[in-house]
Chains A and B, each alone.
Chain A
Amino acid sequence: MTTTKPLKYAYYPGCVSRGACRELYLSTAAVTKALGIELVELKSAACCGAGTFKEDSELLQDAVNARNLALAEAEGLTMMTQCSTCQGVLGRVNEKLQASEPAYRERIDALLTTEHHYNGTADVRHMLWILLQDYGLDNLKAKVKRPLTGLRCASFYGCYLLRGQQSGRVDDPVNPKSLEQVFTALGATPVEYRGRTRCCGFPLSSYDTKNAFAMAALRIDEAIEAEADCLVTPCPLCHLNLDSRQPEVEKAIGRRLGMPVLHLPQLIGLALGIESAQLGLGQHIVSTRPVLARLGL
C-alpha cells in the first residue's frame, strides 16, 4: 500500500510526555517527522484524568474529555494519543458519549463553553494503532535504515490500551500482536512472556508503594527470564513505574534488575537511524546503553 495523501493528526501529547517523560515527546516529534506524519498539537487540551477523574465524578471525566475531543473535532482530524492510559480514557469516553442518550449529551454540552461542542465525530487512536492501520507496516519497514537485528524486545502494552475501551480495539487483550508486529517490521526479535498484558502497578505507586513495586518487580523478572534486552512500552505511566522507579524496586527486592525500558517511538527512531540524543535515550533512569551496545552504537 502506498500512502497517497499525507497523514495528519490532532496530537494529544498528555501530561507525562511534557513533564517526567520529555523523551517521549522528543522521540514522537522526531519519528513522526521522519515518517512524514504531520501533527497539529492541541495546546489547550487538558489532562484526561488518567482514570482518576472518574473516581471523583464520572461527569467530570466525561465533560473534560468531551472538551478534549471537541478540540480535535474542530480541527477536523483524528486525535492521536501516545499513551495507553490517555487512549483508554479518551477512547472510552468517546464510545460512551457516542452511544449515550441525547439528554446526557445535552448536559455535557451545557457544561462546555460556547466555543466547544462535542459532536462525536472525531476518532481517537494511539500512535501504535495509527502506524498499523493508517501508515502500514510495509511502509514503516521501507523506512528502516538500521534494522534492529538481534535486539530482543519485550512488549509492555499497558492495561488501558488493551482493555480500556470496548470498540475500536486493535488487539485481542489476551493475545495482543501489534507491538510484536512493529518489532518484527523494525528487524527486532519479539520476546514472548506472560507480563506483557499485565499491570505495571503505577496506579498504586503513591499510596501502596510496596505492592506497586512488587508488581513492577514481577513484570521485569518475567522479562529477564525470557532473556529480553529491553522492555518497550506505548505507555509513559508504565514507563514511570518500570524505569523511573526501578532503582527503588531494586532496593525493595534487594536485587539488581538493570532492565532498560524504551518508549515505542524511541525504538522506532533507532531503526529509522535517528540519533539517540534526539530520541532522549540519555534521559532514562535505567541506562539504555546496553540496548545501544547490542545495536553496535
Chain B
Amino acid sequence: MLVHDSAKKKSMEIAFRVRRQTGNDPATYQTYKLDLEPGATVLDALTQIKWEQDGTLAFRKNCRNAICGSCGMRINGKAALACATRAADVVDERGEILIQPFGNMPVIKDIVVDMQDFWKHLDQVEPYVSTAARNTPEKEFLQTPEQREKLEQSGNCILCGACYSECNSREINPEFVGPHALAKAYRMVEDNRDDQTEKRLERYNQPDYAWGCTRCFSCDEVCPMGVQPLEQIQKIRTKLLHSRKLPENTAMRHRRVLVAQIRNSGWLDETRFALEVFAKSPEALLALAPLGLRMLLKGKMPLRHHPIDNFAEVTTLIDAVHQDDYN
C-alpha cells in the first residue's frame, strides 16, 4: 500500500501540445493531458494518447529501443527519438511538452513525414561496399580491428533523419545530399573492402556533396547515436584536399589559400585572399568588384597587411605540423 502510494505521488500530469496536419492543410495544435509514470518516454505517452484519447493521431514507431530509427520527431523544438526521450526530462515549467514533426521533409500526417528525399539522397552516395567487393571471394575479406574501428562511428547511424531535419544546408538546397548520406559516404571511402574509393571521392568533391555543408553543427548536436556527421564530412574534406588526382575547385582553393596565407603572416589578408582564390576565374573576380568597391569606401578593406608579431613561429609551426601529419 505504502509503495503504491509513493509511486502514485511520483506520476505526473503532462500536457502534450501536438502539431496536427494532414498534407498541405493548415496546421493546428492540439493538447492532450495524461498522467505518466516517472520513467515513461515520450513515445509511451504518444502511444497512450493514441490508444486512450485519439486514434487519429499519426506517428511512426517500431522498436521502442533506439534501434529502428522510426520515432524521430521534434520534441520541444529539438530533433530526437521519442523512445529515447524520457518525458520527465524534457517537460517545461508549465508542465508542457511540444511535439512537432521533423523539418526539411513534407508532412504526410501529423508527425509522419515523407522521407523520400532522405532515402534518395542516401542512395546517391552509393551506400554499399562496391559490387566488385561483393562478388563472393575465394576467401573472406579480412579487416583488422583498426580498420573496423574507423567505420564504427558512422556505422552506428540508424537512419532516423534527425540530422537531416535540422540541416541548414538542406533547408536551402534541396539537392544537398545531407549529413546522413555524407556520414555514410565517409564510411564507404574508409572501408578497406571497397575498391571504388577514387570514383567516390570524385563524386563527393561537389557542392551538393561534401562541400555543400555549411558547418552549422546542427547534425552533431541532434544525432541520437553520436555519429557526428559533421566530423565525418570534415574527414572526407581532408581526403579531398589531400588527393593529388582531383581537379582543384573553388572550395579546395579557398582552403589551400587560407592555410598558405596564415602560414605566411599569421592571419588572413582578406583582400589578397579573394584575389588568390579567384585568380583563375576572371568572371568571378569581376563579380566581386562592386563588393570590393563598397568595402573600400567604407574603410572595410585595409590596404596594407601587417603580419602578426612573431609570425615566423606560425610558419615554423605549420610546416612542422605538415611534416608530422602528411606522411
Contact = CB atoms under 8 A, between A and B. Distances in A.
Interface of A: 15-16, 18-22, 43-47, 49-60, 63-64, 67, 88, 107, 111-113, 115-116, 159-160, 162-164, 173-175, 198-199, 201-204, 206-208, 211-212, 214-215, 218, 244-245, 247-248, 282-285
Contact of A44 (B218, B221, B269, B308): B308
Interface of B: 76-78, 168-169, 171-173, 176, 207, 211-212, 214-218, 220-221, 234, 237-238, 241, 249-251, 254-256, 258-259, 262, 266-270, 277, 290-291, 294-295, 298-302, 308-311, 313-314, 316-318, 320-322, 324-326
A174 to B, nearest CB: 5
B206 to A, nearest CB: 10
Contacts of B172: 201, 211, 214-215, 218
Task: Determine the main DSSP class of B at the interface with A.
Answer: helix
B322 to A, nearest CB: 7
A285 B294 contact: yes
Given A22-B299, A44-B311, A113-B313, 4 more contacts: A60-B321, A67-B313, A244-B294, A285-B300
Contacts of A45: 308
Given A207-B254, A215-B172, A21 B300 contact: yes
A53 B259 contact: yes
B291 A248 contact: yes
A64 B320 CA distance: 11
B308 A160 contact: no
Given A47-B262, A247-B290, A283-B298, A52 B255 contact: yes
A174 B176 CA distance: 23
B238 A57 contact: yes
B259 A60 contact: yes
A198 B277 contact: no
A36 to B, nearest CB: 27
A44 B259 contact: no
Contact of A46 (B238, B266, B294, B301): B266
A199 B168 contact: yes
A245 B234 contact: no
5 contacts: A60-B322, A111-B324, A198-B216, A199-B218, A215-B169
B77 to A, nearest CB: 5
Given A60-B259, A159-B217, A285 B324 contact: no
Given A207-B251, A247-B290, A46 B216 contact: no
B303 to A, nearest CB: 11
B262 A46 contact: yes
B207 A207 contact: yes
B214 A201 contact: yes
Contact of B217 (A43, A60, A164, A208): A164
Given A20-B270, A43-B308, A67-B313, A55 B214 contact: no
A66 B103 CA distance: 38
Contacts of A284: 298
A283 B300 contact: yes
Contact of B313 (A44, A173, A214, A283): A44
A211 B300 contact: no
Nearest to B259: A56
A54 B219 CA distance: 17
B258 A52 contact: yes
Given A55-B255, A248-B291, A111 B78 contact: no
A163 B311 CA distance: 30
A203 B52 CA distance: 49
A46 B267 contact: yes
The 4 closest A-B pairs by CB, nearest first: A163-B217, A207-B250, A199-B168, A44-B309
B284 to A, nearest CB: 9
Contacts of B171: 198, 215, 218
B167 to A, nearest CB: 10
Contacts of B325: 57, 59-60
B186 to A, nearest CB: 13
A59 B291 CA distance: 35
Given A44-B308, A67-B313, A244-B300, A15 B77 contact: no
A107 B313 contact: no
A201 B215 CA distance: 9
Q: Considering residues B211, B251, B267, B322, which has the most beta carbons from chain A within 10 angstroms of its beta carbon?
A: B267
A198 B207 contact: no
Contact of B220 (A115, A163, A175, A285): A163
Given A20-B270, A54-B234, A64-B318, A44 B310 contact: yes
Given A201-B214, A208-B207, A208-B212, A63 B317 contact: yes
Nearest to A206: B254
A20 B308 CA distance: 16
A116 B77 CA distance: 44
A167 B171 CA distance: 28
A198 B234 contact: no
B183 to A, nearest CB: 16
B266 to A, nearest CB: 5
